[in-house]
Chain A
Amino acid sequence: MALSSESNLWGAEAVIYIGEFLGRKVVIKKRRSKQYRHPVYDTIFIQARTRNEAKILAELYAAGLKVPAPLLVDVEKGALVMEYIEGERLSEKLADIEARELVEIAWDIGRQSALMHNRKIYHGDLTIANIIYSGRGVYIIDFGLAGYSTDIEEHAIDIHLLQKSIYSLYPHLLKPFMESYFKAYREYYSGSFDEIMYKLREISTRGRYIDRELRRSVMRERYVG
């Protein structure tokens, strides 16, 4: 395996190497050991996250979703080799985008996240920095915080995080983006869309010192109907 060390990227959790494997351009995600963690914990943490990410990537890839294909995993060493996705992060792409293209991209992300949630998988960090726009379509990457859950809470959290990330960088795009996103999500999601929408409202009232009236109105809906 050839590695080009210049193009290393440091994420919070792992170092990303770009390399070549069986003639294909690949990404190697190596989770780093951290001195600030208890040694037992460090090992459990790295291995569990690597195993989890590989497993979920494999399942989603097999199901036909646009995620990087996992090629090789070494749980002991905390390394994961996967397909390299050529393209631009959505967090950059949105800076200059036409209205029609935005609607198409948002629709596709809505469709893919619904399909992912239908398989009881949540992403856990679904932000526009973790979505790559490539010539072949829209890819969701970085499943490091992903997991399995039947709780719609986790599904709604994904959508909440996506909204938050768009709002913090491109507040003016939030409305057109989410309209198109929800259109597709509603079409493909196998659970109750209304429940998801209700959960989303409830999530937005979490956190400390949130306006009491807002929280009360959400709680009232829950108990009084």
Chain B
Amino acid sequence: MQKIHVPVKLPESVEGKEVTVLGIESTSHTLGVGVLRFSRGSVEILANISSQYKPEKGGIHPREASQHHMKNAPTVLREALGKAGVSMRDINTVAVAVGPGIGPCLRVGATIARFLSKYFNIPLTPVNHAVAHIEIGKLFSGFNDPVIVYVSGGNTMVLVQKNSQYRVMGETLDIPLGNLFDTFTREIGIAPPYVVDGKHAIDVCAEWSQEFQPLPYTIKGNDLSFSGLLTAALKLAKEANGGKESLGRICNSLRETAFNMLIEVSERVLALTNKKQLLLVGGVASNKVLRWKMETLTSIYNVKYYGTPPDVAGDNGVMIAYTGLLLYLYGRTSKPEETHVKQRYRIDEEAYPWL
């Protein structure tokens, strides 16, 4: 397996240390377990196994999603350990995403992690899910100080690092971008499934037309608001009454408007901070159109661009394991009885020593 150099500052005490981490992700629709090994300043991904809850109708149902996680956890965990070729006795720390996310789902991961920690007497490392998305992006890109554009079903924000913290420069004030696309495609009856072969229903629909029509565009300073856009697009779709051509036009315009809002905020943050790297992370980072727009944007400013590859862009256990590794190396572990889930765990409420 390929070894990747850790691009962030580590404490000096890690020299010569070998650490194996198990990471558990269960914040939303994905139950993921990742195993990685750290030695001599590099990490090696040993396993990245996940199982996704796919609703038959509607959006994510918290109880059903958590039941899916409970049912699949033993298999996914066993498969991950098997693929990695390690036993629980080899694991130095169990990392778990404790938030932000859906309560019942979070509790599944936290319960498993607490159990493993207690039973095998291994330290537990709680991880912020949003930080994990960013850290895994930084690991793969090798970037040290990028403007970060984080877009997923639960988050839409543009961030930079400052004074050992992630600082949110702009974020959505209501619904996230992924949620906007999911809700719209669901309401007009072309989803679920939301993503087929790595392609979202909105992209399928947008290909039905090349036309564009203006829709509400809401930016407040560096913050975004998508709810008015959603309402307007749904109203148009209702009036259009199902024709493939007109529906395509609305999808295309919706996607174009939403992406342009995000691009404008990213561009403003680039111009404001003068940073030379731009990192795209989160589930929506797999979207080809958004990738293309970001690449075009960065080429104008002569900024290095990196979009996280799809297998680690969406929710996964490896990113939790990797961020858990960093926290573990800095001694930020926690006792099982003191580790609780935090549904509202903001990315900017804590400092991280490697930033």
Given contacts A37-B260, A41-B214, 10 further A-B contacts (CB under 8 A): A11-B271, A12-B272, A38-B252, A44-B214, A45-B260, A124-B219, A126-B221, A206-B223, A208-B100, A208-B157
B100 contacts A124, C-beta separation under 8 Å: no
- In the bound complex, how far is the Cα of B214 from the Cα of A208, in angstroms? 27
B272 contacts A161, C-beta separation under 8 Å: no
A35 contacts B296, C-beta separation under 8 Å: yes
Shortest A201–chain B CB gap in Å is 15
A interface residue numbers (CB < 8 A to B): 10-13, 34-38, 40-41, 44-45, 124-127, 129, 145, 157, 160-161, 164, 168, 206-212
Shortest B143–chain A CB gap in Å is 21
Shortest A176–chain B CB gap in Å is 22
B172 contacts A208, C-beta separation under 8 Å: yes
9 A-B residue pairings within 8 Å (CB atoms)? A10-B301, A12-B271, A36-B296, A41-B257, A208-B100, A208-B155, A209-B344, A209-B346, A212-B344
Contacting residue for A12 out of B171, B268, B293, CB 8 A: B268
What is the number of contacts between chain A and chain B, taking CB atoms within 8 Å? 78
Q: Which residues of B contact A44 (CB under 8 A)?
A: 214
A41 contacts B212, C-beta separation under 8 Å: yes
- In the bound complex, how far is the Cα of B300 from the Cα of A35, in angstroms? 9
A161 contacts B171, C-beta separation under 8 Å: no
Task: Please provide the 8 A-B residue pairs with the shortest distance between their CB atoms, ordered closest to farther.
Answer: A209-B344, A12-B271, A161-B221, A36-B293, A36-B296, A12-B268, A12-B267, A206-B173
B118 contacts chain A at the CB level, 8 A cutoff: no
A207 contacts B173, C-beta separation under 8 Å: yes
Contacting residue for B221 out of A35, A124, A208, A211, CB 8 A: A124
A208 contacts B271, C-beta separation under 8 Å: no
A208 contacts B154, C-beta separation under 8 Å: yes
Question: With A12-B264, A36-B293, A40-B212 as given contacts, are A157 and B271 in contact (CB-CB < 8 Å)?
Answer: no
Contacting residue for A210 out of B211, B268, B272, B344, CB 8 A: B344
B173 contacts A38, C-beta separation under 8 Å: no
- In the bound complex, how far is the Cα of B345 from the Cα of A126, in angstroms? 29
- In the bound complex, how far is the Cα of B267 from the Cα of A129, in angstroms? 16
Q: Considering only CB atoms and an 8 Å cut-off, how many residues of chain B contact the other chain?
A: 40
A208 contacts B260, C-beta separation under 8 Å: no
Q: Which residues of A contact B297 (CB under 8 A)?
A: 34, 36
Question: With A161-B221, A212-B344 as given contacts, are A41 and B171 in contact (CB-CB < 8 Å)?
Answer: no
Shortest A169–chain B CB gap in Å is 11
Shortest A46–chain B CB gap in Å is 12
- In the bound complex, how far is the Cα of B272 from the Cα of A11, in angstroms? 8
- In the bound complex, how far is the Cα of B326 from the Cα of A2, in angstroms? 56
Q: Which residues of B contact A168 (CB under 8 A)?
A: 167
Shortest B151–chain A CB gap in Å is 12
A38 contacts B256, C-beta separation under 8 Å: yes
Contacting residue for B270 out of A12, A36, A126, CB 8 A: A12
- In the bound complex, how far is the Cα of B166 from the Cα of A25, in angstroms? 41
Q: Which residues of B contact A164 (CB under 8 A)?
A: 221
Question: With A10-B271, A12-B271 as given contacts, are A38 and B221 in contact (CB-CB < 8 Å)?
Answer: no
Shortest A161–chain B CB gap in Å is 4
Closest to A40 in B: B212
Q: Which residues of A contact B23 (CB under 8 A)?
A: none
- In the bound complex, how far is the Cα of B214 from the Cα of A122, in angstroms? 22
Contacting residue for A207 out of B171, B212, B271, B293, CB 8 A: B171
- In the bound complex, how far is the Cα of B173 from the Cα of A160, in angstroms? 13
- In the bound complex, how far is the Cα of B298 from the Cα of A176, in angstroms? 39
